């Protein structure tokens, strides 16, 4: 039987809002237990998204609001559904495609820091460099060497800053040009995806090359994608191609997680003057036009470029810095957007084998 104190806490949890999901704790089904034992009230919260940096704050706020003696906050990431007719990759719960439609907008930098931020928030994360012609993940993540293969058929991902990595850049010399036609490039992409032994990933972030050609279509049609994230600058000419990327994912039934506006504002480190070099709020306007979630704006800052070129992106170079905070906030929003999608129940169904009777 529920005690009066337990019931009062449950009633409050139905009205108190989780800032991550924007829903009440009860509506988001993140309340795992409310118990009063020996006069002590304990509340258990299980987040559906990675937010390790927020656990202590959430526990403190709920403890005060509920008058609880203990509030325990944990998190559990589950697999979500992919395109109809496809099965999730082994060892990967959720695959997030990061696309732009146009080069030069900082998509790879965003993908790398997104992966690192998800890891920093307590998730198991992989990063796949899908740019066969211009791989940048090895340099950006400070990773070197060749993947190992125990059986001659599959590869173990490299690991850097706690993130599992795979890139064609690990398999060819740095200055070797990949002079491949489309079918060869798409075949290489599928091999990198399916022949890598991803180890129990909550999220695999895939850094797509710019454009809406063979590689992007292969990923969207034949690879189990949970959702896609669009990166663009506010500049009109970049948004034109970003819109094409949105349309491509819509046509093949890949859910859109939202849009992030990169290089949105420049702040002079000397005088503090801010300037919208690529225009203001173009990404926000596009998000409204297409009904996408606007996941925020990232600045144009020299330190982001310098730290990424050095193989230690901002999330690891300055984990408590303002830029890392922006990427972690983005990571939580992306994870919440994934959490709103339908769950994957394929593993719950038994395998049916039909054999001929003798």
Structure-token pair, residue 307 = 């730290």
104 appears as a binding residue in the annotation: yes
CA angle (89, 133, 86) in 5-degree steps: 20
Show the 3-state SS of 271-319.
CCCEECCCCCCHHHHHHHHHCCCEEEECCECHHHHHHHHCCCCHHHHCC
Distance of CA 159 to the CA centre of its chain: 17
336 appears as a binding residue in the annotation: no
103 appears as a binding residue in the annotation: yes
Cα distances (Å, whole numbers) of residue 8 to 4, 46, 61, 68, 187: 6, 20, 16, 11, 58
Distance of CA 219 to the CA centre of its chain: 16
Q: List, in sequence order, every residue forming a beta bridge with 37; answer none if it has no partner.
A: 40
105 appears as a binding residue in the annotation: yes
Dump the DSSP string for 21-54.
TSSBTTTTT-EEEEEEETTEEEEEEEESS--GGG
311 appears as a binding residue in the annotation: no
Q: For the chain, what is the radius of gyration of the CA atoms?
A: 22
Where does the chain have alpha helices with state H? 4-13, 55-66, 107-120, 137-140, 182-194, 214-222, 236-251, 282-290, 302-309, 314-317, 322-339
106 appears as a binding residue in the annotation: yes
108 appears as a binding residue in the annotation: yes
Sole residue written with tokens 């859109």: 256
343 appears as a binding residue in the annotation: no
**Residue positions forming the annotated binding site for ATP:** 101-108
- Binding-site residues, in ranges, read 101-108
């Amino acid at each position: 039987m529920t005690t009066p104190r337990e019931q009062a806490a449950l009633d409050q949890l139905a009205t108190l809002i989780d800032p991550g999901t924007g829903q009440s704790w009860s509506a988001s089904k993140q309340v795992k237990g409310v118990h009063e034992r020996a006069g002590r009230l304990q509340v258990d919260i299980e987040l559906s998204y990675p937010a390790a940096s927020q656990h202590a704050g959430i526990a403190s706020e709920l403890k005060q609001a509920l008058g609880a003696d203990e509030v325990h906050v944990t998190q559990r990431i589950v697999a979500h559904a992919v395109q109809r007719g496809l099965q999730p990759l082994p060892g990967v719960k959720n695959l997030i495609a990061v696309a732009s439609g146009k080069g030069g907008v900082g998509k790879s930098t965003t993908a790398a820091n997104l992966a690192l931020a998800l890891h920093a928030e307590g998730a198991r994360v992989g990063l796949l460099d899908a740019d066969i012609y211009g791989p940048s993940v090895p340099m950006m993540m400070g990773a070197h060497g060749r993947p190992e293969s125990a059986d001659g058929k599959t590869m173990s991902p490299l690991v850097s800053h706690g993130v599992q990595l795979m890139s064609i850049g690990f398999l060819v010399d740095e200055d070797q040009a990949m002079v491949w036609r489309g079918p060869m490039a798409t075949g290489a992409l599928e091999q990198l995806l399916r022949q890598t032994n991803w180890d129990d990933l909550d999220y695999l972030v895939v850094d797509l090359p710019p454009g809406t050609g063979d590689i992007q279509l292969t990923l969207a049609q034949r690879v189990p994608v949970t959702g896609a994230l669009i990166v663009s600058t506010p500049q009109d000419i970049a948004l034109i191609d970003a819109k094409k990327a949105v349309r491509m994912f819509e046509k093949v039934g890949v859910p859109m997680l939202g849009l992030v506006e990169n290089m949105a504002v420049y702040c002079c480190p000397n005088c503090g003057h801010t300037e919208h070099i690529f225009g203001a709020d173009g990404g926000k306007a596009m998000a409204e036009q297409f009904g996408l979630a606007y996941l925020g704006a990232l600045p144009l800052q020299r330190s982001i470029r310098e730290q990424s070129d050095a193989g230690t992106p901002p999330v690891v170079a300055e984990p408590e810095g303002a830029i890392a905070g922006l990427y972690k906030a983005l990571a939580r929003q992306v994870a919440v957007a994934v959490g709103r999608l339908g769950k994957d129940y394929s593993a719950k169904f038994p395998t049916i084998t039909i054999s001929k009777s003798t």
